[in-house]
Amino acid sequence: MSSYVDREWFYYLRGRELLLYKLLGGSSNERITQSGILRTRGKELMYPNEDIADGLRVEYTALNEPFIAQSFEATTGYASGTGMSFDPGPAATISDTNDGFADTGKAFAQGDRIRVQGSTSNDGDYTLSSSGTIDEDTLTITGTFTTEAEGERVTITQIPLEDSSPDATSHVNLNRMLSLAVVDYLKAMTFESAGDIERKEYYIKEFYGKLGDNESNKRNISVSFPSGPFAVR
C-alpha cells in the first residue's frame, strides 16, 4: 500500500458515488540539492494502479439520533449560572441556589433529555427522572453524578429525545430550515428518477438555497460607524 496516502490520493463525490484518484508521480521523485532534499510531484491524476484487498476506510461525521420525538424548536429548556451543585444520591440531583430551573419559557419537565456543560466532573447527556423532583431549584436525573460543589459556570440545555421506532409523526433531528431542505432534496431525487431533469434542477437549487440560508442565520453581524462632529443626532 502506498505511503503518504493523505497527499497521494484524492477523491470527490458524484451523487452517491465516491471517485478515487491517485496523484501521478507519487512521492518517489526526490533529489539532493544544495538547499537540501527536493521532492517533486506530478500534477496529474490517474485511476488507482494497485489493488486494495481490504477495501477503503472512510471517516465521516455520523448522525447518531436521526429521528426525534419532538420538534427541534420545542426543546426550549435552558439554565446557566454559578450556583449549581451536583449530588450523587441516592437520587442524583442538580441543585441551583439561584432558582434558575423554572424561568418562563425555559423550564424543564419530567422525562426531558438534558446536556450539562461547564462542570468540573459531570459534563454529559442525562435524562430527567419521570417521577423525581423537577422544580425551580432541583433537577432529578436517572443515572449518577460525581459530587461537585457550586462555583463553576454550568449550562444545562434541553436536547431532543431520540425516537428509536420512528413513524409518520416523528421528526428529523434537524432545525426547521434544514428539514425543509431535506424535503427539497427528496423531491429532486424523485424527479431525477422519473427523468424530469428540469424540475430536479429546480429543487436542487432550492435545496442549496436553504442550506445557505441556514448558515447565514447563524451569523450575527453588526456594523457601527463613528459619527462626525456635524452629524445629525
Per-residue pLDDT at 31? 59
Q: How many CB atoms lie within 10 A of CB 96?
A: 23
Q: How many CB atoms lie within 10 A of CB 201?
A: 13
119: Cβ contacts below 8 Å, ≥ 6 apart: 84, 86, 148, 152, 154
Distances (CA, A) of 230 to 223, 224, 225, 227: 20, 17, 14, 8
Cα–Cα distance for residue pair 128/142, rounded to 1 Å: 6
Phi-psi category of residue 38: left, alpha or beta, with phi > 0 → left and psi -120 to 50 → alpha = beta
Cα–Cα distance for residue pair 130/174, rounded to 1 Å: 26
Per-residue pLDDT at 1? 44
Strands (DSSP E) found in the chain: 9-14, 17-23, 29-33, 36-40, 45-46, 67-68, 78-81, 84-87, 93-96, 113-117, 124-128, 138-142, 154-159, 171-172
Per-residue pLDDT at 227? 64
Q: Retrieve residue 226's grid coordinates.
A: 463613528
Cα–Cα distance for residue pair 20/48, rounded to 1 Å: 7
- pLDDT by 10-residue block (mean), the chain, 233 residues: 60 82 63 63 70 75 78 85 90 90 82 91 90 88 91 90 85 87 94 93 94 78 61 58
Per-residue pLDDT at 209? 93
- From the list 20, 22, 16, the residue with the least C-alpha distance to 3 is 22
- Laid out side by side, the sheet with 17-23 consists of 9-14, 17-23, 45-46
Per-residue pLDDT at 180? 92
Cα–Cα distance for residue pair 215/206, rounded to 1 Å: 14
Distance of CA 25 to the CA centre of its chain: 38
